[in-house]
Amino acid sequence: MKTTSTPLVALALAALFVTGCSTETGTANPAPASQDQTTSAVSPSEWASIEAEAGLPPAPDAATAADYIAALQEAGVIDPEVATEPLVRMLSVFTIGLLHAPGTLGATTDDQLRETVGLFADLVGRGLATQAPPDAAAARRAQLALLDNLDAQLDHLEEIP
């Protein structure tokens, strides 16, 4: 039986949802400049131009979420046997779906949203739990580093006229 506390994993995953779960392409945007979009009507260079003209903050690079996942694995919160890239991709897909849910499924109350995120975090947390007890202090340091990254992104947005 896995011994990690589900609340610690749920809290760690919730922090990642807040940042938008950067994907391996560098952003949760539909067609970022850093992504080779061979099937898109908008080329990567056109996206780069659009992003620059709009004054968008630099998208979190792939390392943001991957580093956070790695730190949680080192802290014993997430099983180190779980591959980082597919985990980041899965969390990104959930986050993007969550962001688009109101337009697809209709209005969602705050309580429904909390319940949905809580259930997802609980399910994923159980699957990612480790055999060893987690290092709560190391997990907290990883969360603070992730939140510092988010704070820097928000500061950049405040600078946009």
| 32 within a domain of the structure (yes/no) | no
Segment holding 156, helix H or strand E: helix 136-159
| 40 within a domain of the structure (yes/no) | no
CA distance 160 to 8: 35
pLDDT digits (tens, 9 = 90+) for 78-91: 999 999 999 988 88
pLDDT digits (tens, 9 = 90+) for 8-65: 555 566 555 544 443 333 333 333 434 443 455 667 677 667 666 766 555 555 568 8
User: Which distant-in-sequence residues (6+ apart) come within 8 Å of 113 by Cβ?
Assistant: 98
Q: Is the confidence at residue 144, as pLDDT, over 50? A: yes
CA distance 80 to 78: 6
CA distance 48 to 101: 27
| 43 within a domain of the structure (yes/no) | no
SS3 of residue 32 by DSSP: coil
Average pLDDT over residues 127-145: 89
| 96 within a domain of the structure (yes/no) | yes
pLDDT at 141: 93
Q: How many domains does the chain have?
A: 1
| 39 within a domain of the structure (yes/no) | no
- Mean pLDDT is lowest, of 47-61, 73-87, 97-111, 123-137, for 47-61
**Which residue range forms the structural domain that includes residue 92?**
6-27+61-159
| 106 within a domain of the structure (yes/no) | yes
Q: What share of the chain is helix, strand, coil (3-state, %, to 5)?
A: 65, 0, 35
| 48 within a domain of the structure (yes/no) | no
Q: Is the confidence at residue 123, as pLDDT, over 60? A: yes
| 56 within a domain of the structure (yes/no) | no
- Mean pLDDT is lowest, of 24-38, 97-111, 115-129, 136-150, for 24-38
